[in-house]
Structure 1
């Protein structure tokens, strides 16, 4: 893939080398680890690529072996990494998970001073968006460094000037910044997107306690053309124009790991937007939400943020209720 080829979605964000213990229990006593990669935007990229869409991932990595692993892994998933910068002055970030056998895994970040934390407005380039239709960003990147919020703000504005639509998942990470800074920055970015994709807890964090319908109206009034509210086990709701649509959840028997489920949901929804067309027409919004719910549920069935994400034929078979012939 080259930068001049048509690109469905551009994502911008940091990926980290992820270390996961091979056994459950306290991280301090784990003798063996598996190595993989992790990052909200790269998770979305992989999800979309496996569903048959052309994706470009934009980032900064250290000029180190960890950066090599991340870049080669994403390239191996068919993702355009031509706009990834390698910076020998700063390291690639690290990320550890701890599985204790109950509740969500604990997450430990080592990303302060990373290569991507140095991203600044002057790094934003039209080449990032060349040939692309859509930009997807999250609220994680603005939390990484002193100028990263300004860089994402410039990127969102420039993408829209170049004719791209923009989606924004707040993806709140309280460990990365203060609540005051997070709320102020995330709210300032909502008017710059076409699709806003908060979870119900993030909506409460940003707007206070409201009904789900009130959240939809509140965020639509800030400028987006569509609002997608993730409700976890209760499915999701979508708001576009005069439409208020609720999609039932895809239920699973047990949850293995919830990390990455929101990114899988985002990939599923964006794939529906790209495939079905205008959300205010027909039942496109509902169909996109249903696909997103399936993707999010699938992501909870495996350890790792992206490894078990389905290919297009697998997802469509699951949605239709078909069974895979395995022998």
Structure 2
């Protein structure tokens, strides 16, 4: 039986309502989320045992986040308590031609100041089959990057499948390090990577190639440039997003397994309710498909794209869909009719 452990930061999300601008807001809607936790929620919804590891302040707000983790049927037994504050992000949801806007307030958060020894990774990885992290965590601070590396090395030592979402966020790399100073050492242990080719090459300190995702004949060679620096890599996938407007997206995906490139059907998503967390929904769908012995790689990719599309219709960070709902979209049911 599979068990996925995810490591990262859970954030308090403060969002304006009804597409209001920050300057119009008199109050914010409070929810919680974060890239790695969102993946754990997706997997739990699909019936996969999932644990989330983080560091939170030992106060009422930290307890609220832990309660939210438990509400989503994600394990919380290995959360370290320490620090003084939870990370926050403010969201202004766009509409039409006006894009959404995110402002981070996560400097000196609990996980940014995490210390060696706060998390017992031997204990965390007991019975685990998969470990998931993303590029957001090492971008927060040197401490978070160091802890992520400890986790990755321990997971590799134990033969656990390691997945990573590149999740490049330029607003977060502010502590004097570039991704190329940190990410190559982390990514060399990854078995599964989600991200576009040029982001991967940038993080690995290599020259970008401006890939054409419509030309499958050239993609394999370009993906191989990433594989060269990641000796344990088995699968690399890329979400294809064509943004018509903030309210209208076209979503597709490609996957490379070192032998062939697969592509999924591109789907229209309109109107978009909430784009945040849609990449995490793709990652959750990808991992579920790779874990599921009944899925081949094409069905895995199709499932990931469908999950990503459905997340655009749901408010909040989490993809609150069941595997049956995702499979309905995979099978072509996109009518949106009332289920009676």
Normalising by structure 1, report the TM-score: 0.89
2:274: which partner in 1?
257
Question: Cα gap change, 1:258/1:199 in structure 2, threshold over 3 Å: closer, same or farther?
Answer: farther
- Look up the SS of the partner of 1:231 in the other structure: strand
How far apart are the structure 2 equivalents of 1:98 and 1:33? 10
1:92: which partner in 2?
86
Deviation at 1:7, TM superposition (A): 5.3
Question: Cα gap change, 1:32/1:147 in structure 2, threshold over 3 Å: closer, same or farther?
Answer: closer
The answer to whether structure 1 residue 310 and structure 2 residue 317 are counterparts is: no
Instruction: Note the 1:1-327 alignment, pairs <5 A.
Output: 8-87=3-82, 89-101=83-95, 102-125=97-120, 126-178=122-174, 181-199=178-196, 202-203=199-200, 205-206=202-203, 207=206, 208-211=208-211, 212-222=219-229, 223=231, 224-232=233-241, 233=250, 235-276=252-293, 284-306=296-318, 308-322=319-333, 326-327=339-340
Q: Deviations over 1:215-248 (max 9, x none)?
A: 3111122221111122223621111131221122
* Contact 2:19–2:93 under 8 Å retained in 1: yes
* Contact 2:166–2:200 under 8 Å retained in 1: no
Question: What is the number of equivalent residue pairs in this alignment?
Answer: 315
State which drifts further: 255-264 or 232-241: 232-241
1:280: which partner in 2?
none
How far apart are the structure 2 equivalents of 1:14 and 1:215? 32
Structure 2: unaligned runs, 5 residues or longer: 212-218, 242-249
State which drifts further: 311-320 or 134-143: 311-320
Deviation at 1:168, TM superposition (A): 0.9
Structure 1: unaligned runs, 5 residues or longer: 1-5, 278-282
State which drifts further: 119-128 or 66-75: 119-128
- Look up the SS of the partner of 1:104 in the other structure: coil
Deviation at 1:192, TM superposition (A): 1.1
How far apart are the structure 2 equivalents of 1:196 and 1:273? 12
Q: Calculate the aligned-residue CA RMSD, in Å.
A: 2.1
How far apart are the structure 1 equivalents of 2:239 and 2:62? 32
How far apart are the structure 1 equivalents of 2:11 and 2:84? 13
